[in-house]
Every structure is written in C-alpha cells, then in structure tokens.
C-alpha cells in the first residue's frame, strides 16, 4: 500500500497553544502575537489540550470567516495529532479518487452527504458500481490514544450511536455498509473502541458489526506540509475475536 499525501495549499503556521475554550475556539501564540483561532472539533480532545503545546494552523483569509486561522494539529510527545474533524472526510475522498482503499476498488462512483435512513441522516459517502449493491460508508475521526492503541470515542457521542443503528438498517435492506475510523496520528499500532467512555456507542457498534457492517481503521501521518494516508491498522478487540 503506497502512502497517499494530501498537501496543504501552503505550509502550516507553527505556534504555541494557550487554551481551548467555548468548544470551537482556541488562543494561540504565534511569533509573540496572541491569536484566536477556529477549532473544528466537537470532541473533548482528551490528552491533547496542554498549555504551551506546539500547534499547526491553516490560514484562510476568506471574508466569510470570523477567524482566518484554523487549528489543524497539536504536537504530543513529538507526534503531530490532527484536530480538524473535517479532514478525515477529505482524506477518504482523496483515497477513493486514487484507488487507495482495496475494499472499495470495485465501486466506480460515489457521492457525499447523501440522505438515507428515511431522510433522518446523511451518509458521508455512498458508493455505487455496476451490478453491485450500494455501499454506505460512514467516516469517524480518531485522535485519542491509550498506550499504543488509538481509541474512539473520546467523549459520549449520541450522533455516532445513531449512525451505527442507521448502518445496520442498510444491511437489513440488502445493502452494504462500513464505518471507517481515520486515525490522525502515526504513533499507534492498533485501534479499539473505548467502552468506558461511551458504553452505548460501543454496544451499538458491536451490534452493527455483528449485523454485517464492516469496521475499517486507517492511519494518517501529519507534517507541516501535508497529511498522508499510510496504512490499515488492526482492530484490537475484533482481531482477538477472529483468532
């Protein structure tokens, strides 16, 4: 599997974290200047929010943006960890365009944000191909870690639990479905669900897997210039079940 890089339009700006607050904002020190930046992450960002941590910022001067800088990554023990929860979908789209995922290479076209489950949800990607059952693909951002194991979720996710039920219903209708956990850090060796953080999501996910929803885990590596799809990671508890 050849790594697939996505290059930023310009190298990211380095700074130092002061604090994160109001969920979507953070204060960052850049070249002695304090900036308020947008933080595109609804999670707890557990283990990432540490004062004086190095950060990477993107810059978009669009008039429609209140804050031109956006928080893209935080460095933890020498590793850049992606914090932008929109990035996994962008990476998966890049992977689909370039045939990176062997699981989906038979599918010749796809659409994003398609309503499904009687209009109650939108699927991240709907894949189609001649003579093939539609494939519903949900993408989840992962940035938490325990030891060398990447973990999801880092806080309770009602929305995520709802998605697992919706995917199971697609399987019951004869379609295909998968959830792809995109790990935005390259210092992990495997992946697992964090049942202690959200037992309801963990149970809904396990039920969905039993119903036929396919769990996939892919890892990405971040730098100041790019984010790169690298490899498939083993799903720790699922691997034990398979042996």
What percent of the chain shows pLDDT beyond 70?
A: 98
pLDDT at 23: 83
Query: What length does the chain have?
Result: 243
Domain extent listing, the chain: 8-82, 87-242
Q: State the average pLDDT over residues 47-64.
A: 93
- 72-91, pLDDT tens digit by residue? 999 999 999 999 999 999 99
Burial 57-93 (b: 16+ CB within 10 A, else e): bbeeeeeeeeeebbbbbbbbeeebbbbbbebbbebbb
- 192-239, pLDDT tens digit by residue? 999 999 999 999 999 999 999 999 999 999 999 999 999 999 999 876
pLDDT at 120: 86
Q: State the average pLDDT over residues 120-140.
A: 96
The structural architecture, per CATH, of the domain 87-242 is: 3-Layer(aba) Sandwich (3.40)
Q: State the average pLDDT over residues 149-158.
A: 95
Q: What is the fold, at CATH topology level, of the domain defined by 8-82?
A: OB fold (Dihydrolipoamide Acetyltransferase, E2P) (2.40.50)
Give the gyration radius of the chain's Cα atoms: 18
3-class secondary structure, 233: coil
pLDDT at 212: 98
pLDDT of 159 higher than 80? yes
Return d(Cα 133, Cα 79) in angstroms, integer: 40
pLDDT at 243: 46
Q: State the average pLDDT over residues 179-192.
A: 98
């Amino acid at each position: 599997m050849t790594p697939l890089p996505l290059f930023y339009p310009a190298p990211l700006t380095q700074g130092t974290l002061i604090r994160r607050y109001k969920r979507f904002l953070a204060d960052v020190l850049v070249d002695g200047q304090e900036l308020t930046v947008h933080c595109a992450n609804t999670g707890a960002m557990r283990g990432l929010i540490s004062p004086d941590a190095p950060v990477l910022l993107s810059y978009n001067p669009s008039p429609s943006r209140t804050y031109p800088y956006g928080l893209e990554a935080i460095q933890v023990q020498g590793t850049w960890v992606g914090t932008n929860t929109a990035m996994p979908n962008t990476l998966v789209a890049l992977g689909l365009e370039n045939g990176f995922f062997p699981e989906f290479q038979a599918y010749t076209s796809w659409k994003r944000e398609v309503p499904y489950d009687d209009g109650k949800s939108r699927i991240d990607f709907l894949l189609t191909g001649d003579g093939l059952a539609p494939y519903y693909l949900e993408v989840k951002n992962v940035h938490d870690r325990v030891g060398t194991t990447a973990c999801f979720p880092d806080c309770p996710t009602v929305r995520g639990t709802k998605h697992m039920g919706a995917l199971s219903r697609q399987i019951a209708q004869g379609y295909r479905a998968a959830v792809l956990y995109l790990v935005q850090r390259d210092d992990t060796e495997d992946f697992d669900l964090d049942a202690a953080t959200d037992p309801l999501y963990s149970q809904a996910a396990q039920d969905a897997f039993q119903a036929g929803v396919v769990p996939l885990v892919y890892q990405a590596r971040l730098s100041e210039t790019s984010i790169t799809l690298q490899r498939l990671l083993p799903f720790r508890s699922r691997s034990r079940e398979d042996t």
